[in-house]
Amino acid sequence: MNKKKTIIIVAGICAIVLIAAVAAVFIVNISKSAGADGDISVEDDSSSGKNETGADGDEDEGTVGDNEGAADSALSGSGGIGAEGGAAQQGEEKFFPYTIDGTALVVQNISSYDGIFLEDGSDGQVTGVAAMVVENTGDTNVEYAAITINCNGEILEFDASDIPAGATIVVQGKNKTAYQSGTYADCSAVVAEMGEFEMSADQVKVEETENGSLLVTNLTDEEIPCVRIFYKFYMEDEEAYVGGITYTAKLTGLSAGGSQTVSPSHYAAGSSRVMMVRTYDSAE
């Protein structure tokens, strides 16, 4: 992605932040090895959930890889895989873009990231963390992907969940691993695929309200003990997700034909996308 494209991304996300009037702003700075910088503003609404029916409010969690959970924007850089310097301990050198053997995942880039760390839900500030841009070029959704790559003899790990077919996602390095330029090799992935993302459309309806909350309505004539809503940050204009993590909002005791409103702490009105909706027979 060239510098002009990066500027468009920055402007687009800044506009989203202004329109949403969010409580916090994520400033993401991707430093390219060639010297150009790209920054992205993402927001996290930390308002508490309020229940219209008087039951318990929402519980917002962030998870990766267990399908009880797992954000986007496309970033670019000319450094990373195939950059000069360093030598991998083993394997053949990899270059952008690189299709991971046995998968439909294509690594577009690895760059340095400064800003909010999303992957563990802590939202702490980090500097110089490795960030990978990955595209799912297949026609099947990816439920979970654990990607490893060797850089100068050090293994970098990237975990992501709920990657739709054809989607692009930016994933920050697991354990906040520092970015380094050099020779990349031995890229592999453990991937779990799935069919359609479950939406439970015959049981519940989920709508975004004017104030950015989610209105959940029970379409059945029986109480639903528990509903979990899985969502990711998404940048519409660039058609990309930010963060390997998928966030989860939970509500309990959804009465027959009733509704509850939840305000998940990481949900950004107009800038998040509901990935899955699941119902459970137990409130646990």
pLDDT digits (tens, 9 = 90+) for 113-151: 999 999 998 899 999 999 999 999 999 999 999 999 999
Quickly count: other Cβ atoms within 10 Å of residue 27's Cβ: 16
Mean pLDDT across the stretch 91-103?
89
Q: How far apart are CA 171 and CA 167, in angstroms?
A: 13
pLDDT score recorded for residue 95 = 85
pLDDT score recorded for residue 96 = 79
Mean pLDDT across the stretch 187-205?
97
Mean pLDDT across the stretch 22-31?
32
Give percent above pLDDT 90 in the chain: 58
Instruction: Label residue 28 by pLDDT band (50, 70, 90).
Output: very low
Mean pLDDT across the stretch 216-231?
98
Instruction: Label residue 229 by pLDDT band (50, 70, 90).
Output: very high
Give percent above pLDDT 70 in the chain: 68
Residues 6 or more apart whose Cβ sits within 8 Å of residue 93: 82, 183, 184, 185
DSSP code string of the chain? --HHHHHHHHHHHHHHHHHHT-S-EEEEEEE-TTS-EEEEEEE---PPP--TTSS---EEEEE-SSSS---------S-STT-SS---SSS-B--SSEEPTTSSEEEEEEEEEEEE--TTS---EEEEEEEEEEEE-SSSEEEEEEEEEEETTEEEEEEEEEE-TT-EEEEEPGGGPBP--S-EEEEEEEEEEESSPP--TTTEEEEE-TTS-EEEEE-SSS-EEEEEEEEEEEETTTTEEEEEEEEEEEEEEE-TT-EEEE--TT--TTTEEEEEEEEESS--
Does the pLDDT value for residue 165 go beyond 90?
yes
Mean pLDDT across the stretch 208-228?
96
pLDDT digits (tens, 9 = 90+) for 256-277: 999 999 999 999 888 899 999 9
pLDDT score recorded for residue 36 = 31
Instruction: Label residue 76 by pLDDT band (50, 70, 90).
Output: very low
Does the pTM surpass 0.75? The reply is no
| Mean residue pLDDT across the chain | 76
Identify the residue with better confidence: 122 or 103: 103
Which range is least confidently modeled, 178-192, 215-229, 232-246?
232-246
Distance set, CA 8 to CA 14, 39, 140, 209 (Å): 10, 10, 29, 28
Instruction: Label residue 62 by pLDDT band (50, 70, 90).
Output: low
Does the pLDDT value for residue 169 go beyond 80?
yes
Q: How far apart are CA 84 and CA 240, in angstroms?
A: 28
Identify the residue with better confidence: 38 or 232: 232
| Residue type, position 215, single letter | L
Does the pLDDT value for residue 15 go beyond 80?
no
Q: How far apart are CA 271 and CA 256, in angstroms?
A: 30
Does the pLDDT value for residue 93 go beyond 70?
yes
Angle at CA of residue 58, ends 53 and 64, nearest 5°: 150
Q: How far apart are CA 265 and CA 237, in angstroms?
A: 23
Does the pLDDT value for residue 188 go beyond 60?
yes
pLDDT score recorded for residue 163 = 98
Instruction: Label residue 94 by pLDDT band (50, 70, 90).
Output: confident
